[in-house]
Structure 1
Amino acid sequence: MLHQVVTLQFKATNNQAEYETLIAGLNFALSMAVNRIQVFSDSLLVVNQVNQTFETKDEVLKKYLQVAKSLISLFEDFSLMHIPREENQVADRLAKEGLPDLHRTQVFERPSFECAEVSTEEPPPAGWTGSWIT
């Protein structure tokens, strides 16, 4: 399992941060030529907006959704499933204890829908495939 930290250097709501996390993870997977991916998120709103169960009314979230869908279209197989926060032990532990074996850090200076690139402190490790939990 690889851990990744995303640092937002701009003001963002919780839902915007959840989208930034999803977008960062999708970009990370694409950078390693992953074709099939299964994503788990404790953000019910993001999961349901991406899966078109919820309508996206907020203009900023519409921009995030557009970026996410654009990235999702690059995968051969993609699924996004909700995992309740209380069942998301990996993310809960990481939030409480931090990241002792950090492999990658990304710094976003502005929302991802405003820019094409983010700065990366380390290159992605080779051979990574699979799924992740946000």
Structure 2
Amino acid sequence: MENGEGPTERTARKDMTPDSAEQSDEIHWTLHVDGSAGKTGHGAGVVLHGPEGFTLEYALRLDFNASNNEAEYEALLAGLSLAMKLGAGELKVYNDSQLVVNQANGTYEAKSPRMKRYLQKVEEKLQRMGKVEILQVPRDMNNQADAL
């Protein structure tokens, strides 16, 4: 994405045609988040693109045994916190986790106590922010956050 290309509404939303996506309101802030848990460690990657063309990359190492879903939520929370601190108004969030995206959007119910707590933290952050849209993208469209 160094050349400025990345997921757009055309790639993230299948119900839009390329022409209608170009006519939609431009979102100046985009956030890509990804979490990972495995034998070699647990971590999260955050990539925030700002309105003036800057990009911030943030990698975190989790110092607790996290599941993949918990690592995904940690990435989302870290990214939302960063965007809030920088005063992001309208924000588009891209994540490849079907579970986290659908829970955050209210499509899936969080069932386990841990997932409920994570979801509650995300909802609290979203209430303090402007317009935030959370979209699921294929893993290969989230490479920069995944690499972190």
- Shorter-chain TM range is 0.5 to 0.7
Greater RCO, 1 or 2 (C-alpha within 8 Å, sep 6+):
1
Matched, 1:41 2:95: yes
Matched, 1:21 2:78: no
Shift of 1:27: 0.5
Larger radius of gyration: 2
Q: List structure 1 runs of 4+ shifted beyond 4 angstroms.
A: none
Residue of structure 1 equivalent to 2:143: 89
Shift of 1:75: 1.2
Shift of 1:43: 0.6
Indicate the SS of the match to 2:60.
strand
Residue of structure 1 equivalent to 2:127: 73
Amino acid across the alignment from 2:128: L
Gaps in structure 2 of 5+ consecutive residues: 1-54
RMSD: 1.2
Shift of 1:35: 2.0
The number of aligned residues is 94
Q: Distance in 1 between matches of 2:143 and 2:81?
A: 24
Relative to structure 1, the CA distance from residue 33 to residue 91 in structure 2 (aligned partners, 3 Å threshold; closer, same or farther) is closer
Shift of 1:76: 1.4
Residue of structure 1 equivalent to 2:105: 51
**Whose strand fraction is larger, Structure 1's or Structure 2's?**
2
Gaps in structure 1 of 5+ consecutive residues: 96-134
TM-score, normalised on structure 2?
0.60
